[in-house]
Structure 1
Amino acid sequence: MTTLDRYTAYADRIEAVSPTYAAWARSLDDVLVGLLDEVPESQRQPELVFAVARRLGADPTDPGALRALGLEARPALVAALTSATVQANDPRRLGPVVPLFAALAVRVDRPLGLVDAGAAAGLCSIPDRVTLDYRVGTDTARMHTAPSEPSVRLVTEASGAVPAPTPTPIRIAARVTLDPNPIDLAAPHAFDRLVEAVPPEATDRTALMREAARAALAVPPVRIRGTLPGDLDRALDALPDGVEPVVLTTGTLVYVPGADRQRFVDRVRDRGVHWIALERTGILTGVAATLPEAVDPADPDAFATASLDGTAMAVSDPFGVRVRWLRDPNL
């Protein structure tokens, strides 16, 4: 897929949610495509590019602002994109993830030790602090209840082989976040930095992120500055004895080059630790091999694949708000 094709597809996907970001994506011309081709492929993601553009002063309500920035401040934009690590870790992605943690909690007899790889500020590091309802047709099922406040409440549309709620609570005894540029939510203006990656129209999403930030602040992790796969061992070794290690990636591995991506998968396997992921459908060869043939990666509702220990369990839209379960993780 070319850079232009990627942005055209993104515009079609985001139009209903953010007309301003769709307009920016459609404003790509030969100059902007050439500019983006100067940075690593993993740094050309629309959300990343738009967040950096806003940080450099581009007004997202102006459809021509991205093109103008590319013309007027090309060296600064290329330099900022090359080193940028903006990633909001939308807490809605926990909708397909929480049932996987719940299924894992049933299997093990000790609390979990969580390594959130690519955590940004750790808004997805709190699966135990989510009260999750699944809307299945006209019915609503409570999948998980957060035992402590502050917490986040999510409502997710679900279909397919929807797992039954499990009585076993999700117990997380230790949290480690790994990120090239980890964000300390307690620092001044940290939350403002996070929402640079959020379309300006998405005020409800920003409010939910604020709830998740409060919950994350209540259970602060050990923050490690590092990248995948090279620093995975360091993050796992930071977990205390007596916990069941589990690595979480949510929209992280698309930023990791292909060869390093496979090295990460191999290292998780070599360490013998659990791995829960919500990643773009098709970018993980092993996970993709476990998908039914009927799953079309071009389907917006199969944009991401939720997997447990390398086996695809569900597919969802990019934000995890519509989930189609392929397998019951409790079986």
Structure 2
Amino acid sequence: MTTRGRYAAYADRIASVSPTYAAWARSLDDHLVALLDEVPETKRQPELLFAVARRLGADPSDPGALRALGREARPTLVAALGSATVQANDPRRLGPVVPLFAALAARTRRPLGLVDAGAAAGLCSIPDRVTLDHCTGARPQLVRMHTAVEDPSVHLVVDASGVLPAPATGPIRVAARVALDPNPIDLAEPGAFDRLVEAVPPEATDRTALMRAAARATLAAPPVRITGTLPGDLDRALDTLPDGCEPVVLTTGTLVYVPGAERQRFVDRVRERGVHWIALERTGILTGVAASLPPDVDPDAPDAFATASLDGVAAAVSDPFGVRVRWLRDPNL
């Protein structure tokens, strides 16, 4: 996909959530496209460009501010993109994976040892601290799927359809958490939360509030932070887990940033280690998971943007934010 096509697709996805970011994505001209083509592929994502632009003073309410910044501060913008990272953890991604954690917890007597790969600040390292409701049916009703083991916690509501999983019958017990990331964020540091939300669209005040609640929950159960990447540092992270727990690796939107050959090395290493793996990743990027999807799943459909899987088997597909979930099978079976 070309840079212009990538931003056009992003604009279509984000328009209902953030008209300002959609307008910025649609404002790309030839000058900005050429600028983005100067930086590595991994530095061209819209969220990163917009976060850096805001850090450099561009006003997202001005549709022309991005183009102006590209013209007036091109060297500064290119340099900032080259060194910047965007780590806006979205705890909404826990919606499709909490039932997978609940199903896994029900299968084992041991508490889970969680390695959150690509954790950023660890806002998705708290499946046990999520109270999850499914909103189902033509006449919507809420079904409680999981109750947080203790506060502080977050409350998520997912629009669910398909082969709905059974509600959790017991708690998700997490004995240890490891946050593996190239640049792990310590939420206890001054200004850490502000840096975390700098890529969040300005209209998304509810998302910022949810991230703040998740940050409080994460601080109450902080992970061990390890600086590293996939797949090279996976073993080091797993070896940090204490004896007596059931190891499980979590990836949420992480593997799209891992080159294809290295991505398969990660999948192979998870299998070689014999550990569990829960994922919410872009539909189609994982060959084995894609092979377990039913034929009527269209990976280009907005509500099949991501696939939730347990141990390499697809269980559900969802929109990019994890708030509309179609369950393909009950992970408890």
> TM-score category by the smaller chain?
over 0.9
The equivalent residue for 2:198 is 196
The equivalent residue for 1:89 is 89
The equivalent residue for 1:253 is 255
CA–CA separation in structure 2 for the residues paired with 1:141 and 1:275: 26
The equivalent residue for 1:158 is 160
Which portions of structure 1, spanning 4 or more consecutive aligned residues, are displaced by more than 6 angstroms?
Answer: none
Shift of the alpha carbon at 1:253?
1.2
RMSD of aligned C-alpha atoms?
1.1
- The percentage of counterpart residues that share the same residue type is 84
Shift of the alpha carbon at 1:249?
0.7
What per-residue deviation string (whole Å, max 9, x for no partner) do you get for residues 132-179 of structure 1?
A: 010111221100001211000111110001100121210000000011
Q: Is residue 115 of structure 1 aligned with residue 115 of structure 2?
A: yes
CA–CA separation in structure 2 for the residues paired with 1:68 and 1:19: 19
Unmatched segments (≥5 aa) in structure 1:
none
CA–CA separation in structure 2 for the residues paired with 1:17 and 1:311: 30
TM-score, length-scaled by structure 2: 0.97
The equivalent residue for 2:174 is 172
CA–CA separation in structure 2 for the residues paired with 1:174 and 1:79: 38
Q: Which amino acid aligns with 1:181?
A: N
The equivalent residue for 2:308 is 306
Shift of the alpha carbon at 1:15?
0.8
The equivalent residue for 1:237 is 239
Residues 279, 308 of structure 2: 8 Å contact kept: yes
Number of aligned positions between the proteins: 331
SS of residue in 2 equivalent to 1:197: coil
CA–CA separation in structure 1 for the residues paired with 2:270 and 2:145: 28
SS of residue in 2 equivalent to 1:324: strand
Q: Is residue 16 of structure 1 aligned with residue 16 of structure 2?
A: yes
Cα gap change, 1:272 to 1:152, in 2 (>3 Å): same
Cα gap change, 1:261 to 1:73, in 2 (>3 Å): farther
The equivalent residue for 2:65 is 65
Cα gap change, 1:79 to 1:258, in 2 (>3 Å): farther
Shift of the alpha carbon at 1:115?
0.5
Q: Is residue 104 of structure 1 aligned with residue 108 of structure 2?
A: no
Unmatched segments (≥5 aa) in structure 2:
none
Shift of the alpha carbon at 1:100?
0.3
TM-score, length-scaled by structure 1: 0.97
What per-residue deviation string (whole Å, max 9, x for no partner) do you get for residues 35-67 of structure 1?
A: 212222222221122112222222211111211
Q: Is residue 280 of structure 1 aligned with residue 274 of structure 2?
A: no
CA–CA separation in structure 2 for the residues paired with 1:57 and 1:319: 27
Shift of the alpha carbon at 1:109?
1.6
Residues 42, 257 of structure 1: 8 Å contact kept: no
Shift of the alpha carbon at 1:74?
2.2
Q: Is residue 25 of structure 1 aligned with residue 25 of structure 2?
A: yes
The equivalent residue for 1:216 is 218
